[in-house]
Structures are given as C-alpha cells and as structure tokens.
Amino acid sequence: MTHPFNEWKVLPHGKLTEIEPDLLTVVGELHMPLTDLPRRMTVVRLQGRRLILFSAIALNEDEMAALAAYGEPAFLIVPNDHHRLDAKIWKQRFPALQVIAPEGAQKKVAEAVAVDSVRPDFDDRNVLFITVPGTRGHEAALLVDTPAGTTLVLNDLVGNIRGETGFGGWLLRLAGFAGTEAQIPRVVKAMMVDDAAALRTQLLSWAEIDSLKRILVSHGDPIEDNPRQTLRQLAASLAS
C-alpha cells in the first residue's frame, strides 16, 4: 500500500464536475507499480454550505478555489483502510475537518490521521453514512437524497472501470475492478467480505429504493443505467 502523504501532493486529476446541485465529483489517477488506477472523490454539500469529502483527493489550486466557492470542507470520510493516501494532508490544510471512518478501519486509518467519529451526525436528514454490512466493518457508503433522486456513493465494494487496455487493463480485469459490467472485485471479496449473506441483503435493500438515480464508485464510471438492477445482479453474484 502507498504510504499516506505528509504534504500537499497533487497527482493527475480532472475538473470538479457538478452532477446535480449539492453533488460534485472529480476523477484522478493513481500510478501503481504495474498500472494506473482511476480514483474518484465525491463531494456532498450539506445545509449551511458544509461539505462532505468522500475518499479525498488533493486538488490543484484552481480546483481548490472552485471547491472553496462551493462550500466549506467540514467532514472527511476515509471509506476504508486503503483510501488513506490524502487524508492527513486534507486535515492539515483544514484542521476543523471531522475525520470519519468505518469502525473496522478506524485503527488503520488512525495510523495516518486521527479519527473523530465512526457514527457521524451530519445534521442533515438527506445524507446517511453507512458501514456496509458483511465487510468486517471496513467499508463505508453514503446515501444522498436530493429533489432529483437518490445517489448511492460506494467505495471499493463495486468496480466499474471500462475500456482499459494493455497489461494494466488486464491486471485491473483480473482483480475485478475493470470489465464489461459493474462487479464486486475479486480482491474485495477475498480480503473484505466476511458475510456474503449480510452484504447481499444490503445490496437488495438498496435496490428497493424507488428514487435511486445513480451509483458513484471510487474506481470506475458512474452507474446510471438502471442502478437498481445492477444492485440485484451484484447481490446474485454473491450467491455463488
């Protein structure tokens, strides 16, 4: 695992994009020993212009200025043990940030940055923090309700990288982060999932949300074409 950064370090990334009012996303690139891994930060704006940063990525100064115009960083969600890379430097830049992690990842995340809460209160009924059942308490998710619908924000639990080629693409497909459809990566199943039945129940519960409009994942494209059916298919993949 790459060691968490100790100073603000900007890796390649795109522009902050508004998916809908109060919901931003930006995609960056993390160079790994044998491939480049796309990674996503999701930003949710709460009441009072407070911002949740989910799986934070250090941004260049132009994009940081755009973020400042959008709101004030208030919560930093480190969604599992493996997404600590930029956590410390965000806390250094914004000391008032409340750092949040799922309970099972708290100890490991705390090696990079102190964790303030594993059960946050955003004081906003439209945003719900979830420690995903069946993942040893190591994986976090968000449900975000807006007038336009519901967005489910996931982390490593689902990979949806498309169009990757070459040796790096082969590695991502082998790990299960890339392919022709969204999937629960093989490495996640092996390392994180300890109760497939509990996870399957959670996926099916999310699939029953009538207002579900999209799923955002940390590694791959947004899932906007029938996300409820995608969740049912992911649940079925755990039955085998």
Residues 36 and 216: their CA atoms lie apart, in Å, by 19
Q: Which residues contact 64 (CB under 8 A, 6 or more apart)?
A: none
Contact 55, 40 (CB under 8 A): yes
Tell me the per-residue pLDDT of 58-79, one tens digit each, with 9 for 90 and over.
999 999 999 999 999 999 999 9
Residues 9 and 11: their CA atoms lie apart, in Å, by 6
Q: What is the pLDDT of residue 2?
A: 66
Q: What is the pLDDT of residue 3?
A: 84
In the chain, which residues have pLDDT < 50? 1
Domain boundaries along the sequence of the chain:
17-237
Max CA pair span of the chain: 48
Tokens representing residue 99 in the block = 């750092």
* CATH class for the region spanning 17-237: alpha beta
Q: What is the pLDDT of residue 240?
A: 60
pTM assigned to the model: 0.94
Tell me the per-residue pLDDT of 126-160, one tens digit each, with 9 for 90 and over.
999 999 999 999 999 999 999 999 999 999 999 99
Contact 218, 79 (CB under 8 A): yes
Q: What is the pLDDT of residue 39?
A: 95
Q: What is the pLDDT of residue 202?
A: 98
> Angle at the Cα of 39 (from 140 to 137), degrees rounded to 5?
15
